[in-house]
Chain A
Amino acid sequence: MDMSVVETIFTYASFVLLALCGLALVRVIKGPTAPDRVIGVDTINTFVICMMVLFGAAHHEIIYIDIAIIYALLSYIATLFVAKYLEKGKF
């Protein structure tokens, strides 16, 4: 499909977010403690959600945005589970 100017800019914006994911990945690899790695992964999750929304808008695909909803909820559950694990609490 041929893209208009706005859709092309959506695509470029999601590429910029991909580069920012790389920056957050540096913190995930370097992070001195476990919670540092967790917030690095959390940041990457938020960026991926934004990328899915922008790609869905650029390609006129609603299914990408539905997947972003599920991704947001699952990453939240994952963060809560890791937090409980670090806290040594009971589930």
Chain B
Amino acid sequence: MIPEIAIYVCLGISLFFSALGAIGILRFPDFYTRLHPATKCTTFGGIFACFAAIIFGIWKGIDGMKSGDMSMFVLSIHVFIVLVCLLLTNPTGAHAIARAAHRSGVYPKTWGGKPVEVDVLYKEKEKMVEVARLTKTDNILLSEDTKNTKSANSTKEANE
């Protein structure tokens, strides 16, 4: 009785947070806000789905131990490995894709000419461009990037 209730609670939390993630990825306004539901909520939901399967495996394993069947314990150990992989890979991938998006010229949504979120990386980039201009280092990639972002920002303002 108790393991069943624990499994249902874990599954409920898992489905609730997965649903929040899927709705948030549809409803949020720009890429950086969408990254929150896409990684945090789905990772949390995945953790609790794995917990449900681990509890199920241990429960059935104790039942089957009387007849000498240990396969359900093996199942819960494998689910634990899935949990470790999920915890290691999901946030790392999110970090990589966020950095790549920023470097490829996707910027936070502007509102009245100002970015909605605090964009620390963009300020650092402006500083780097200024240093490159003063020291006359010919960094083609950097200058192209800033040109693109300026034009992108101006078109956004024109749209609004």
**A residues in contact (CB < 8 Å) with B:** 5-6, 9-10, 13, 16-17, 20-21, 23-24, 26-27, 33-36, 38-40, 42-43, 46-47, 49-50, 53-54, 56-57, 60, 62, 65-66, 68-69, 72-73, 75-76, 79-80, 82-84, 86-88
Which residue of chain A lies nearest to B60 when distances are taken between CB atoms in the complex?
A: A60
Interface residues on B, range: 35 or more
B11 touches A33 (CB 8 A): no
Residues of B contacting A: mostly: helix
A6 touches B25 (CB 8 A): no
A60 touches B81 (CB 8 A): no
Nearest-Cβ distance from residue A30 to partner chain B, whole angstroms: 8
Near A by CB (< 8 A), chain B positions 87-126 give 89-90, 92-94, 96-101, 103-104, 106
A47 touches B18 (CB 8 A): yes
Nearest-Cβ distance from residue B158 to partner chain A, whole angstroms: 17
